[in-house]
Amino acid sequence: MPNFTNETTINKSKSTDIRRIAMIGMLSALAFIIMYFEVPLPFLPSFYKIDFSEVPVLIGGFAMGPVAAAIIEAVKVILHLVIKGTPTAGIGDFANFIIGCGLVVPASMIYKCHKSRKNAVVGMTVGILVMAVVGGLLNAFLLLPAYAAAFHMPMEAIVGMGTSVNHAIIDVPTLVLFATTPLNLIKGVLASILTLLLYKRVSPLIHGRV
């Protein structure tokens, strides 16, 4: 006799996989679109802008786990690289991916262990701190030198753009401390708040419960 139970389980598994792929694609596209809406902050150098593209990535990570979060982050960055291009031979896009994963992967890993609002807050807090540290290191040793080389600017000129808005910025370490780190902290906090407000509303759609 045919095993209808096994067939039903297999069909259900295939349906879940298809939905998962579709949701990853949709959230990646949404994150990519949101990347275009950048907001400058008046107390930071003009080359530092904030966007909320990590919100769909966080939502996807909470709904489908840290691997899905990393995939969404990667697809978002690849779309941006292919469609918009890059002045840094992909170095800036690579850094964007690593910094973004610094927020979304720890947050979704911790939330996956026990899915509660408290764990979501703990996860995002850890993610914000990781994002700030990773972002600072990457900017100091990779991204800022890459931008200086790409635009044929001495590093002193880039530091000077920071000095013009904050006289405490006098070199690369202070640029990272007083500009890069605040940017990532603000971005992480705002993305986390928006995710907390939106997740329960969109989670049923991601899981096919509507």
Give residue for tokens 């401390």.
Answer: 177
The total domain count for the chain is 1
Residue 166's domain is classified under what CATH number?
1.10.1760.20
- Indicate if the pLDDT at residue 210 is higher than 70: no
Closest CA to 62 of 18, 122, 135: 122
Q: What are phi and psi of 17, to 5 degrees?
A: -65, -40
Domain membership of residue 172 as a residue range: 4-206
In sequence order, which residues have a C-beta less than 8 Å from that of residue 195 and are 6 or more positions away? 55, 58, 59, 62, 120, 124
pLDDT per residue over 112-154, tens digit each?
A: 998 899 999 999 999 999 999 999 999 999 888 888 888 888 9
User: What predicted TM-score, i.e. pTM, was given to this entire model?
Assistant: 0.86
- pLDDT for 60-108, tens place per residue? 999 999 999 999 999 999 999 888 887 777 778 888 899 999 999 999 9
Q: What are phi and psi of 54, to 5 degrees?
A: -75, -15
